[in-house]
Amino acid sequence: MTLALLTGCDGGPPVPKPGPATPHNGTLVSLPEDGGFVEIVKEPDSGKKDRAKILAYFLDSSRNPITTVSAVTLKSKATGNKPIELKPTGDADPAKAGGMATPSLPDVGEIDGELTATIAGKPVTIPLNVR
């Protein structure tokens, strides 16, 4: 999420101003070479305490889905620093279409590590540090 800082009216500490909403209420991370964004969303795994799924939505600079994405993996603390393959969600809801999801993982709070993918035939590595 993009934040702009404004000084408080009384000269106090800056007040964060939220940037534009993301399509799936996640956190936008820039792709290399101005290739757009990946939106990271953590969803609780229904019925499973302390477990979550991590979803990645690849978006172009206009925030439209990138459809040429394959071979997506996540390596983070939640995965024991081992690469875990993300698979298409297959969600029929158009608002959630195009998502790639991990299996159920331990919910360790932050999402740190790296996401790798092939976009339009080019391998890409995206460092993550999402709180």
Mean pLDDT across 38-60: 90
Question: What tens digit of pLDDT does each residue of 53-89 get?
Answer: 999 999 998 888 888 899 999 998 888 889 999 998 8
Task: Go through the domains of the chain in sequence order and give each one's CATH number.
Answer: 23-130 (2.60.40)
Strand 27-30 and strand 122-130: pairing? unpaired
Mean per-residue pLDDT of the chain: 81
Strand 100-101 and strand 105-106: pairing? unpaired
Q: Is the pLDDT of residue 45 over 60?
A: yes
- Which sign does the torsion angle of CA 80, 85, 91, 93 carry? positive
Q: Is the pLDDT of residue 18 over 70?
A: no
Distances from the Cα of 4 to the Cαs of 18, 41, 51, 82, 116, in angstroms? 7, 22, 32, 35, 29
In the structure encoding, which two tokens stand for residue 131, read together? 């709180």
* Cα distance between residue 49 and residue 65, in whole Å: 31
Distances from the Cα of 117 to the Cαs of 3, 78, 93, 122, in angstroms? 27, 18, 24, 8
Tell me what percent of the residues of the chain surpass a pLDDT of 90. Answer: 38
